[in-house]
Amino acid sequence: EVQLVESGGGLVQPGGSLRLSCAASGFTFSSYEMNWVRQAPGKGLEWVSYISSSGSTIYYADSVKGRFTISRDNAKNSLYLQMNSLRAEDTAVYYCARNTATLYGSYYFDYWGQGTLVTVSS
């Protein structure tokens, strides 16, 4: 059974830092691209960042570029998101999500973790 378990969320002051982790199990983690997706309270879903299976290709949403860093450790079956210079608008539930490519050149998220809440407030 595929499982994704996030951790590391919490309350942090504006300008502060936080590191999220996502522990993966039930599949060959090193073969899959992974993502972080967030959801502000009462709002919709927003893609945050992508990392290829080897870690060699990385993308970020403009809203977090230069402040967030995605990484992975395939030996530990783990995905990370280092978040620096946090702002109030970064307050959200952060989900890790497994990436799947389709035959038509599209991509979607076939498995999601339960999410971890990050609150940025003084």
Partner 1 sequence: SYVLTQPPSVSVAPGQTARITCGGNNIGSKSVHWYQQKPGQAPVLVVYDDSDRPSGIPERFSGSNSGNTATLTISRVEAGDEADYYCQVWDSSSDHFYVFGTGTKVTVL
* Site residues for partner 1 per CB under 8 A: 35, 37, 44-47, 50, 59, 61-62, 95, 100, 102-110, 112-115
Give the residue with the Cβ less far from partner 1, 73 or 110: 110
Minimum CB separation of residue 75 from partner 1 in Å reads 26
**What angle (nearest 5°) sits at the alpha carbon of residue 60, between those of residues 117 and 29?**
70
Residue identified by tokens 């993966």 is 24
Give the residue with the Cβ less far from partner 1, 65 or 76: 65
Minimum CB separation of residue 83 from partner 1 in Å reads 18
Interatomic CA distance for residues 96 and 116, integer angstroms: 9
* 22: helix, strand or coil: strand
Give the residue with the Cβ less far from partner 1, 27 or 109: 109
Gyration radius of the chain over CA positions: 14
Q: DSSP state, 53?
A: S
Minimum CB separation of residue 3 from partner 1 in Å reads 12
